[in-house]
Amino acid sequence: MTPMSMVKTQVYFPASELKALHRVARAKKRRVADLVRDAVRRAWLTPPPTGPIGLFDGELRGSSRGSSRDHGSEFGEP
């Protein structure tokens, strides 16, 4: 990974949110600045997915688990 040039900026948080953010940073063993950068990238700088997105929240059926060969039958499709 190539090092990137950083520019300092200031962000103001309500005291309670900043305290909570510091707790999360300690729990995850990360710096607050890293958490903020990651959140900004995910929320604002990552383009939204395009195209069809399938969500499935059920039990897989059949013997082809892990295989795409019978994908339709896994999801109750012909």
- In this predicted model, what pLDDT tens digit does every residue of 38-66 receive, in sequence order? 999 999 998 887 877 777 777 766 655 55
Kindly report the pTM of this predicted structure.
0.58
Name the residue with higher pLDDT: 45 or 69.
45
Average pLDDT, the chain: 82
Q: What is the three-class DSSP state of 34?
A: helix
Q: What is the three-class DSSP state of 69?
A: coil
What is the distance between the alpha carbons of residues 64 and 59, in angstroms, rounded to a whole number? 13
Q: What is the pLDDT of residue 29?
A: 98
The answer to whether 64 touches 72, Cβ cutoff 8 Å, is no
Q: What is the pLDDT of residue 77?
A: 58
Name the residue with higher pLDDT: 68 or 14.
14
Q: Which two tokens stand for residue 67?
A: 């295989």
Nearest one of 50, 13, 57 to 35, comparing CA atoms: 13
Cα radius of gyration rounded to whole Å, the chain = 21
